[in-house]
Amino acid sequence: MVVMDLEMVEQVARLDEWVAEGGVVVLSGAGLSTDSGIPDYRGPSGSARRGSPMTYQTFTGDPVARRRYWARSHLGWRTIGDARPNEGHRAVARLQERGLLAGLITQNVDGLHQAAGAREVIELHGNLARVVCLGCGERSGRAELEDRLSAANPRFEAVAVTINPDGDVELDDAEVDGFTVVDCLTCDGMLKPDVVYFGETVPPERVSRSFALVAGARTLLVLGSSLTVMSGRRFVLRAVRDGIRVAIVNRGVTRGEPYADLMIDAPLGVVLPNLAPITV
């Protein structure tokens, strides 16, 4: 249990005042989902040290790497698919329900904001619950694919040891040998999780919608993001350029700290429920 010291209490009180004014745009990152059992890349539970994430170029150009990814992801989905929203997700959904949020942008691919009741979430990097065919563009549900992978690999009994934020797990190559990858039922094209891999570009429409939200905000509230990659940091830079105040709640180092009007280094599950509490 984390107990807030006097400085943190004062910081949260200041953030609470800003949130109560409304017009808040939330930008969330992997740190928001760690309490749901999904590790982040660079925070206290980070997995960036354990290897490089899959890139689009490797996935599409290397059949062996693609097979390895699907074998690992097939196991990892059991954790991602079963994950449930935590207190932080629920707090964000309550703020939206009360009309205090002007928008919600997430870098996460786990769908937990929506599971907590949030609406109109801009998923910058997509969602692991969907699969897209790179041939015909058809999208389908991940549950259907998992059934097909299980049927194609009835003897696949590898055990996941460590799960990564993008949904795959750590496995020895020997455990991947013989894993069968399935293709699109419509055109036999290559299937890929409907997420933005490293080396891909976030769809321009999502970026423009996000910039529009930030432009109209009173406060940009960054939750659980190290802001290491430009995909999220660009919205902080735009807010600073436009004179919009920036608040960050994150465990550990973040590259957004030099730009923040308020920086709170604390667990999100402790801070967020204290924002605009419902009084009886």
Answer whether 0.85 is exceeded by the pTM. yes
What pLDDT score was predicted for residue 31? 94
Dihedral sign, CA of 161, 163, 168, 170?
negative
What pLDDT score was predicted for residue 48? 46
Environment class of 139 (CB within 10 Å of its CB; exposed 0-12, middle 13-18, buried 19+): exposed
In the chain, residues under CATH classification 3.40.50.1220 are 1-38+85-125+202-280
Residue 204, marked binder: no
d(CA 93, CA 278) in angstroms, rounded, equals 13
177: its two tokens: 């040998």
Convert the pLDDT of each residue in 211-226 to its tens digit.
999 999 999 999 999 9
Average pLDDT over residues 176-193: 94
Residue 110, marked binder: yes
Contacts 24+ apart (CB under 8 A), 135-139: 135/184, 135/187, 135/188, 135/189, 135/190, 136/184, 136/186, 136/187, 136/189, 138/184, 138/186, 138/187, 139/194
Query: In CATH, which superfamily holds the domain spanning 1-38+85-125+202-280?
Result: TPP-binding domain (3.40.50.1220)
3-state class (DSSP) for residue 133 = strand
Convert the pLDDT of each residue in 101-157 to its tens digit.
999 999 999 999 999 999 999 999 999 999 999 999 999 999 999 999 999 999 887
Average pLDDT over residues 94-100: 96
Which residues belong to the active site? 125
Q: Which residues contact 5 (CB under 8 A, 6 or more apart)?
A: none
CATH of 49-82+127-195, picked from 3.30.1390, 2.60.40, 3.10.50, 3.30.1600, is 3.30.1600
Q: Would the pLDDT of 201 be above 80?
A: yes
In the chain, residues under CATH classification 3.30.1600 are 49-82+127-195
Residue 73, marked binder: no
Residue 103, marked binder: no
- What are the angstrom distances between the C-alpha of 269 and each of 21, 88, 126, 221, 266? 22, 5, 24, 15, 9
Cβ count within 10 A of residue 245: 15
Convert the pLDDT of each residue in 237-249 to its tens digit.
999 999 999 999 9
Residue 252, marked binder: yes
